[in-house]
């Protein structure tokens, strides 16, 4: 009986932790950030592993799913970037290991949101760490200072 209880807790612990987001410090996030932008969510979409649009509101993401939910951002202002140009509309993927349905995320973003600070990475403007890229606009100066400090440290090396 004891073996079954231990087995049960081992199995349930893997299931329970499957949808907890990774914790990351602001400094670790900024080290991987190439772009600091201000934008608003203007829509939500989902694509499969081949980039084909999915419209089924019950379609899900997760560790074994090729599906990816993306927030569609209208970019209002570029604060810092290492890119020659920043698109006016960005499709930013949510953490694909999280268990979300398209309908759930569309319910979370039914209308255009207020502006928010976006921390993105690379030529594809993706989250620097999966699931970590949106910050409150009130924290703009804090993140800009971290970004500039990190940038100067990189140049000193």
Is 80 a member of any domain?
A: yes
The domain containing residue 121 runs over which residues? 25-156
Residue bearing tokens 């089924």: 56
Query: pLDDT tens digits, residue range 118-140?
Result: 999 999 999 999 999 999 999 99
Is 140 a member of any domain?
A: yes
Q: What pLDDT sits at residue 156? A: 66
Can you tell me the mean pLDDT for 96-118? Answer: 95
pLDDT confidence tier of residue 151, bands split at 50, 70 and 90? confident
Is 4 a member of any domain?
A: no
Is 11 a member of any domain?
A: no
Is 41 a member of any domain?
A: yes
Is 101 a member of any domain?
A: yes
Is 81 a member of any domain?
A: yes
Global confidence as pTM: 0.83
Query: pLDDT tens digits, residue range 30-61?
Result: 999 999 999 999 999 999 999 999 999 999 99
CATH of residue 119 = 2.40.50
Can you tell me the mean pLDDT for 5-15? Answer: 50
Number of domains in the chain: 1
Is 2 a member of any domain?
A: no
Q: What pLDDT sits at residue 157? A: 64
Query: pLDDT tens digits, residue range 63-98?
Result: 999 999 999 999 999 999 999 999 999 999 999 999
């Amino acid at each position: 009986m004891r073996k079954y209880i231990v087995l049960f807790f081992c199995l349930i612990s893997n299931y329970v932790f499957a949808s907890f987001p990774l914790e990351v410090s602001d400094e670790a996030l900024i080290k991987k950030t190439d772009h600091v932008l201000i934008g608003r969510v203007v829509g939500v979409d989902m694509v499969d592993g081949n980039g084909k649009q999915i419209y089924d509101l019950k379609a899900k993401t997760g560790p074994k799913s090729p599906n990816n939910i993306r927030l569609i951002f209208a970019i209002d202002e570029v604060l810092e970037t290492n890119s020659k140009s920043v698109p006016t509309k960005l499709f930013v993927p949510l953490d694909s290991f999280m268990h979300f349905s398209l309908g759930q995320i569309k319910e979370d973003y039914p209308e255009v949101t207020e502006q928010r600070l976006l921390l993105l990475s690379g030529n594809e403007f993706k989250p620097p760490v999966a699931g970590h890229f949106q910050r409150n606009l009130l924290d703009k100066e804090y993140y800009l200072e971290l970004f500039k400090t990190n940038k100067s440290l990189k140049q000193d090396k």
